[in-house]
Amino acid sequence: MLKIGLTGGIATGKSTVSRLFRKQGIPIIDADKMARIVIEPGGKAFAGVREAFPQCFSGDELNRQALGRDIFHDDAKRQLLNQLMHPAIREEMLEEMRGYEAAGETVVIFDIPLLFEGTMRDLVDYTVVVYCREEIQLMRLMERNGLTKDEALARIHAQIPIEEKKQQADFLINNNGALGDLTAQVVRLVEQFEDMKKEGD
C-alpha cells in the first residue's frame, strides 16, 4: 500500500485538496478527526488528558476553548498534551489504514496538518505539500477567520514556514490560482500514485 502524507500551512487550501482527493476515490485518514476521537469519553487519550488538565473538564465534558487557552502560551503544557495525544492519534490512524488495506485499497492519504512539525513523518512513504505564497495565505486567513493582520501572522509563524515545507515536499500542489487548476493537479497526482503503485508491485 502506498502511503501519502498530505500537509500544508494554515489557510493554504489543504482541506480543499483533501476533499478533491476523496472525490477521486482515494481514502483519507484525517489526523484532526482522530484528535477529536481520542479525547472523547472512552477514547485512547481521554483519561490521561483529564488527569493532566482537570480544570478544562466538567465531568466527562472537555471545554476545548479552555484547553486551547491553557496551552497556547505555555510550551510545557503544550508538549505534555502532545505527549498524551500523539501516540493515541497514531494508533487510531494505523488502525484505519489497516482497515483500508484489508479492503484492498492500494493508495491511502494521511491528512496531517503538522506532518513536518510533529512525530508522524515516518508513517508515510511520500509527502504532498499544498502551497501558496505567504501574502495569499495571510489574506485568506484574515478573511476566513476574521483576524487582524498581526493575529493572522502570529498563527502563520507558529508553523514551519510554507517556503520551507515546499523544499521538503516530494510533490507540490500549487494553490495560488483557481479551483479548476487545483482539481487538475489532484487528478494528475492520483494518476502518478497509481503508476508508482504498479511499478512498486
Which residues participate in the annotated binding site for ATP? 11-16
Burial of 31: CB neighbours in 10 Å, binned 0-12, 13-18, 19+:
buried
E strand segments, 19-84:
28-30, 57-58, 61-62
- For CA atoms 183, 189, 191, 197, the dihedral sign is negative
Contacts 24+ apart (CB under 8 A), 40-49: 43/88, 44/88, 44/91, 44/92, 45/84, 45/85, 45/88, 45/89, 48/84, 49/81, 49/84, 49/85
Binding-site residue ranges: 11-16
42: left (phi over 0), alpha (psi -120 to 50) or beta: left
Q: Are 11 and 147 in contact (CB under 8 A)?
A: no
Q: Which three cell numbers stand for residue 157?
A: 509563524
Instruction: Please tell me whether residue 108 adopts helix, strand or coil conformation.
Output: strand
